[in-house]
Amino acid sequence: MHIGQYIPGNSVIHRLDPRVKIGAAIVLSILALQGGSFTETFLSAFLIALIPCSGLSVYQMGRAFRSVLVFFALLFFVHLLFTQGKPIPPFPPWRVTVTYEGLYRGAVTTWQFALLIWTASILTMTTLPTDLVNGIERLLRPLRRIGVPSYDIAIMISIALRFVPTFLEEIDRIKTAHMARGAAFGSGSLVRRTLAGVSILLPLVLRTMHRADDLVVAMEARAYQRGPRTYLKELSMTWADYAAVIVITAIICLHMLCP
């Protein structure tokens, strides 16, 4: 299971307009990083409250964190050991030691990143990739006036996402072909294994270029041109979306008013 993979559902959060969700995720992420004890506490409570609203189980949310646990541990320990301050007995008063301040900073920073991952996960777990891209395109569309090609960016993201599983299959196929000819992937010295890994790179790149060539022709054959196009799903805001915008705005105000 990939980090934050979409989980089908029909919750309130699932049904929100992707633009609102993306905007909310950005806002909440910025607030999480800005800090302030009240904000952090409030955000934590808010995000916890979102779990049932999105129809996700605590277990599913926990799985989203599995891949980043190592990073969190590293982050925590770096802060724990390298922050100046009052050492916690029985640790010695050296420059690199365990301090109270370190404990506090470690905990706070790690928690901030946890909130970030949490926010992003709720976004990706309740929004179909198709809708995410659609949302990004609509949000970028007004920036076309200053030269941001929203339609083109959306197509690029869309195609990239579509081909990720295909690339994984391709890598597997090339690896198998090489193994059949005696390449060492699981055994042998580190150097040998690294070289074996690198040997996949060239065929992969070549095949990808070939694919891109074919794809371009196929897209042109279906009358693709850069610029404006229409979609199967046209996004529209409902009362629930407006309510969500109000909630997020309220959170921003709360943050600005409280220390």
Q: Does 220 bind another protein (CB under 8 A)?
A: yes
CB of 8 to another protein, least distance (A): 10
The CA-to-CA distance between both ends of the chain, in Å, stands at: 39
Q: Which of 228, 239, 257, 259 binds another protein (CB under 8 A)?
A: 228
Place of tokens 């559902």: 9
CB of 140 to another protein, least distance (A): 17
Q: Does 10 bind another protein (CB under 8 A)?
A: no
* Interface segment toward another protein; rule CB under 8 A; list 45-53, 105-113, 129-137, 196-204: 129-137
99 three-state secondary structure: strand
Considering only residues 142 through 161, tell me which ones interact with another protein, judged by CB under 8 A: 158-159, 161
Q: Does 15 bind another protein (CB under 8 A)?
A: no
CB of 160 to another protein, least distance (A): 10
DSSP 136-175: HHHHHGGGGGGT--HHHHHHHHHHHHHHHHHHHHHHHHHH
| Residues contacting 77, CB < 8 A, separation 6+ | 106
Closer residue to another protein (CB): 142 or 213: 213
| Cα–Cα distance list, 96 to 70, 83, 90, 100, 108 (Å) | 21, 8, 14, 13, 19
Residue closest to 136 by CA, chosen among 123, 147, 118? 123
Q: Does 232 bind another protein (CB under 8 A)?
A: yes
Closer residue to another protein (CB): 199 or 208: 208
Closer residue to another protein (CB): 158 or 199: 158
Residue closest to 11 by CA, chosen among 59, 66, 68, 49? 49
- Interface with another protein by CB under 8 A: which residues? 129-130, 133, 158-159, 161-162, 165-166, 169, 211, 214-215, 217-225, 228-234
